[in-house]
Amino acid sequence: MARISKAELTRLQKKFKTDARIGEEFGITRQAVHQLRKKYGIESRTAGNPDRNKEMVSLRDSGQSVEAIAKKFKLSIPQTYRILKETVSSGKAAKKKSSKKK
C-alpha cells in the first residue's frame, strides 16, 4: 500500500475530493485510499453532505437511475450506491429513535 501520511491524505482530499482521484495520483486503487482513510479515521468528503445525499435519495425515489444520479453529482456508481444505502439507513434509524421517544 502507498505510504501516505494522515496529514498528506487530508491535504490530498481537499485538493482532489475523491478517493478515486487520489488513487490515480498515487497509482493505487480507490479502495486502497478508502482503507487508508478508515485506518486514519478520516471521513469521506462526500459523506458530510446531508443536503446532497437527501437530494440523491429523492431522485432515486422518483425513478432516476443510479447511473444518472452518479453522473449528475460526479460520483462513481459504487459510491452513489453506498451514499444512497447509508442515507436511507440513517433515515430509518432516526425514525425509529423518534418513534421510541413518543
At 23-39, the pLDDT tens digits run 898 888 988 998 998 99
Q: Do 34 and 65 lie in a common domain?
A: no
Between 21 and 47, name the one with better pLDDT. 21
> How buried is residue 21: exposed, middle or buried, by Cβ count under 10 Å (0-12/13-18/19+)?
middle
Q: Which three cell numbers stand for residue 59?
A: 431522485
What pLDDT, in 10s, does the model give residues 27-79?
Answer: 889 889 989 989 998 887 766 688 999 999 999 999 999 999 999 988 889 88
pLDDT at residue 79 in the model: 85
Q: Are 31 and 66 in contact (CB under 8 A)?
A: no
Specify the CATH number for the domain of residue 85.
Answer: 1.10.10
Q: Do 64 and 34 lie in a common domain?
A: no
Residue 60 falls inside a structural domain: yes
Give the residue numbers spanning the domain of 92: 50-97
Residue 81 falls inside a structural domain: yes
What is the domain count for the chain? 2
Residue 1 falls inside a structural domain: no
Residue 89 falls inside a structural domain: yes
